[in-house]
Chains A and B, each alone.
Chain A
Amino acid sequence: MKFKQLGIFSKASVIWLGIVMFMVVFGQWIPLPKPTNFDIDAMGVGLFDSLKHPLGTDSNGYDLLSNVIRGARPSMLISLISVGIGGLIGSTLGIISAYKRGKLDYIVNTLFNIVLSVPALVLGLALVAVLATNPDPNIEVPTSRRVIVIILSLTIVIIPILGRIARGATLSWSNREFVVAARSMGMKDSQIIMKHIVPNVLPAIYAVAFLAIGVVIVVEGSLSLLGVGIVDGVSWGSMIARVRGDLEYAPHSMIVPVVVLALTVIACNQLGDILRSQLDSREGRL
């Protein structure tokens, strides 16, 4: 699929995700007020009111633009890493078990169902809460350790979601004539999987992976709001959580991170959608 052939909605999505990734990689070198410095002379500056703070400041005087840019990195990295690792583990499990069938498939499918039987947010919350605890409740768990725990937990949440997609797709592909033919010609299972199954299953996984990135961004935000995710306004979700009470005095301080987060989710959903509808038209209704 070429960029030119995309609809306007999808083009905008690609461009927006490009901007977000730029913020992730180069954000810290953009010449802006430090996100951790609060400007005592400019508390609650509105949107576009000041050249120094283009998106304004929150009621503490933190610059919103630089905070949003800094927030891109943890928010996106958490999503990309957990969907990446979870997707890799999940689809490997799903593909192999669906190809081999039998007991292995039953066990893997049951394991997927076990994890899926607990709602993603509850599971993520429980895992983070359990894994990021200190003996003394008064000592804060350092942010870096929290991030690792959150990534680990969300990876566990993602594994069965993508695993099940891979399993379903593999089940339908592994019965096709060309796979049976390859098997009858004495190709090794590992070769068949790599040559015939994986290339056909990958598009379905990509499509859902994009949707999953959106889901993880939201879950991460929810965790922050519930006070177990990233604190101190380092990620988008935690920026929203931090200014919860300020909606009345400085509504834009909430609207800025909300818009950025929502746009990112919309862009991911849109691209996932395009990939899925391409898949549907290629496959027909199976």
Chain B
Amino acid sequence: MGLDRTVKSTEPLKRLAQLLLVVLGSTFLVSLLIRLLPVGLEDIYVVNPDPAGRAREIHNLGLDLNPFAFYLRWLNGFIHGDFGSYVYPGPTFVPVSQYITRTLPVTLQLIFYVQIVALTISIPLGLLSAYKVGTRIDRFISNGLFIFSSIPSFVLALILAFYIGVKLGWVPPLGYAQPFCSAEDIVRANACGFREHFKMMVLPVVALAVPLIASYTRLLRTDVIATLREDFVTMAASKGLSNRRILWTHVFRPSSVTLFTSAALNMGGLIGGALVIETIFSVPGIGFEIALAIASRQYFALQAYIAIIAFGYVFFNVIVDLTIGRIDPRSRERRQ
């Protein structure tokens, strides 16, 4: 009885190997890129006029190595937790890890809120508009979201910051507050605590979530429409279940694979979006830090940030691979 499930494929291992190649490839290319700058790194970071001192500084930065050796040196450090440094003339080194531990949590908070908001709004909307497909409600939702999704989020951010933040003054237009007050926050009278935290986060979250809501609703709508045509939905109806119950217990889960896959794979893209939004709202997250690093020509730091994003990309790919079969057993067979 049943299918033969004894054949274990080597597919997952192959996939992992490819993902590892992706990380190595992207970090190597970034490493190569900063060595191939139209301007040598030594011209930016090494200001010592004394030839001997100059040679020593170049050696310290690894700039005397060929690009391969330079990359391997960087990779070795990265694996051992040395993410590289900000380099200031002098030379003074400030480890990137200091910045990462401070800024990454902020961005993760932001992205987390964005995903929660986007999913909680788009799931009911997607189900509703698929259920009412072709009706006025469906058209209203689809067209409304279409227009919203076409407004670039930086435009939305600027408008929100000005009208909600400055004109109406409902929430602060700029800045960030920690959800938990540290001693330092209290001494310096910084804004902190949950209330302040959420007030500060509202606008950046809305600016990032609105375009996402549109794309998530659409993905779910398409899949729900397809699922509603399935026999098992008619079958569920013929048991005499209510439509609401059928939508949530029979239709949603088998329709949600694309949605959750793209939500997980969107995490990286959201860091890109966060870059602009954090800059506009002065949220001290990793996106803001990346923009600053680029503006101040801190290429070693940039290398570390991009590596972290690439690792995040792989991490979420693995998560998708691991969980997708649990959401829908069919997808194990479908996905290759």
Contacts and interface: CB of A to CB of B under 8 A. Distances in A.
A142 B270 CA distance: 31
Interface string B266-296: 0011111101100110000000001100110
Interface in A15-71: none
Contact of A135 (B43, B280, B290, B294): B43
Contact of A119 (B33, B38, B44, B268): B268
A247 B158 contact: yes
Contacts of B39: 133-135
Interface string A101-138: 00000100111011111111110011101110111010
B271 A133 contact: no
Given A137-B297, A240-B158, A225 B276 contact: yes
Interface stretch (A72-80, A173-181, A214-222): A214-222
Contact of B26 (A117, A130, A222, A261): A117
Interface stretch (B66-74, B91-99, B147-155): B147-155
A14 to B, nearest CB: 16
A111 B314 CA distance: 14
B176 interface: no
B127 to A, nearest CB: 19
B237 interface: no
B269 A119 contact: yes
Contact of A240 (B155, B270, B279): B155
B25 interface: yes
Q: Which of A122, A135, A251, A285 has the most CB of B within 10 A?
A: A122
Contact of A226 (B34, B43, B276): B276
A169 B197 CA distance: 46
A266 B269 contact: no
Interface SS of A by simple majority: helix
Interface in A114-166: 114-122, 125-127, 129-131, 133-135, 137
Contacts of B147: 266
A10 B290 CA distance: 39
A261 B26 CA distance: 32
B164 interface: no
B275 A125 contact: yes
B315 to A, nearest CB: 11
B150 A265 contact: yes
A283 interface: no
Contacts of A240: 154-155, 158
Contacts of B272: 119-122
A254 interface: yes
B155 A262 contact: yes
Interface residues of B, number: 52
Given A114-B26, A117-B22, A125-B291, A269 B155 contact: no
A244 to B, nearest CB: 6
A121 B152 contact: no
Contacts of B313: 116-118
Contacts of A111: 25
Contact of B297 (A133, A225, A261): A133
Interface in A213-245: 214, 218, 221-222, 225-228, 240, 244
Contacts of B314: 117
A20 to B, nearest CB: 15
Contact of B294 (A218, A222, A228): A228
A254 B43 CA distance: 39
Q: Which of B155, B275, B310 has the most CB of A within 10 A?
A: B155
Contacts of B280: 225
A119 B270 CA distance: 8
A110 B18 CA distance: 7
Given A111-B25, A130-B37, A118 B310 contact: yes
B299 A130 contact: yes
B146 interface: yes
Nearest to B150: A266
B309 interface: yes
A125 to B, nearest CB: 6
Contacts of A126: 30, 33, 294, 302, 306
B150 A262 contact: yes
A137 B33 CA distance: 19
Contact of A269 (B22, B38, B44, B146): B146
Interface in B1-45: 18, 21-23, 25-26, 29-30, 33-34, 37-39, 43-44
A258 to B, nearest CB: 5
Contacts of B159: 258
A222 B158 contact: no
A214 B30 CA distance: 26
A135 B143 CA distance: 49
B22 A114 contact: yes
Contacts of B43: 135
B248 to A, nearest CB: 23
A265 B152 contact: yes
Contacts of A129: 294-295, 297, 302
Contact of B25 (A110, A121, A127, A251): A110
Nearest to A134: B39
5 contacts: A111-B25, A121-B272, A133-B38, A218-B152, A226-B295
Q: Which 3 A-B pairs have the closest CB atoms?
A: A119-B272, A121-B272, A114-B25
